[in-house]
Amino acid sequence: MYSEQDLMLKVKEGQLGYLANLFEKNKQGLFSFFVRMGLNRALSEDMVQETFVRVLAYRTSYRAESTFKAWLYRIARNTVSDHFRKMGNQEIHDPFVEQDFKGENSPLEILEDEHQHSMFDKALASLPVEQREIIVLSRFQQFSYQDIAELLNCNLNTLKTRMRTAIEKLHERYQVLCGEAQ
């Protein structure tokens, strides 16, 4: 079984078909990343496409020094940054507004869960991009601190401080939203 790194090296050599394998493994994660970063569904799909276009374009510059995931998300971050820069301000989108919640919980539990999710997401969406990003990468993309530090090109201690601030802010916003809701 080839690792993602091996697959990307094959793509670099010109065996482009292996990019499909990398796409299948990462498309959901990437899509969710963009959605949680505040883009709507259509834009998130565009960003996934754009990311892979760039992966193809930059394939010859891939070096196996870092993990493929880190390299991919570096490109993804740049893609979404370019987008935000063009838009001028952030497009805040509640990623769960269009979803049907299907579960086996009771209606009241569903309502309560839905309420909580909604508050989390609203709180997350209200954070500045930089803070939102490290929470999304850590909580939803399951990146380790090491990976995130490498991605953001900052040292570990700086990242720890930023993460603490981000979580504090998120908590604060969450409490405000819950208070308002009540």
Partner 1 sequence: MKHEDIIAKKIELLQAGDGQNLPEEMQQLVDSSPELASEISFMEALWQADNHQPVEQPSQQMDARFYQMLSQTQSELNSAKPPLEATTKNKPDSTLSGWLTRLFNPQPLATMALLVMVFGLGYVTNNTSPEPTPHVSAVVSKLEQKIETLNTMVALNMLNDQSASGRLAGVSYSMSNQANGKVTQTLLQLLNSDSSSAVRLAIVDTVSQRLNEEKLQNQLLDSITKQDSPIVQIALIQLLLKDGSQTSKKQIYALLENNQLIDEVADYLNVIKTPAQEA
Partner 2 sequence: MKKATIIATFFVFLSANLLAEPRTIERSISLTDPAKVAELDISLMSGTIAVEGYKGKTIEISVTTGSLKKLGKVKKAETSTHGKSESHSSSGRSTKGLKRITNSAIQLYIEERNNKVSIESSQKSHKINVSVKVPFNTNLELELHRGSDINVTNVHGYIDIENPRGAIVATGIKGPIVAESGRKDVTVVFDSFNPKNPSSLTAHRGVIDVTLPKKSKVNIEVKTYQGDIFSGIDAEFRSIDKVDNNKTENRQRISIGGAMAAKLNGGQQKLMLNTFRGDIYIREK
Binding stretches for partner 1 (CB under 8 A): 2, 14, 16-21, 23, 27-28, 31-32, 35, 41, 44-45, 48-49, 52-53, 56, 95-96, 98-103, 113, 116-117, 120, 138-140, 142, 144-145, 157, 160-161, 163-164, 167-168, 170-171, 174
Question: H or E segment at 115?
Answer: helix 107-125
Measure the CA–CA gap between 29 and 167, rounded to whole angstroms: 22
Burial class (CB in 10 A: 0-12, 13-18, 19+), 95: buried
Measure the CA–CA gap between 149 and 137, rounded to whole angstroms: 11
As given in the structure block, the two tokens for residue 36 are: 């949680």
- Pick 65 or 100: Cβ nearer partner 2: 100
Which of partner 1, partner 2, none is residue 97 near (CB under 5 to 8 Å by kind)? partner 2
- Pick 17 or 88: Cβ nearer partner 1: 17
Least distance to partner 1, CB of residue 142, Å: 6
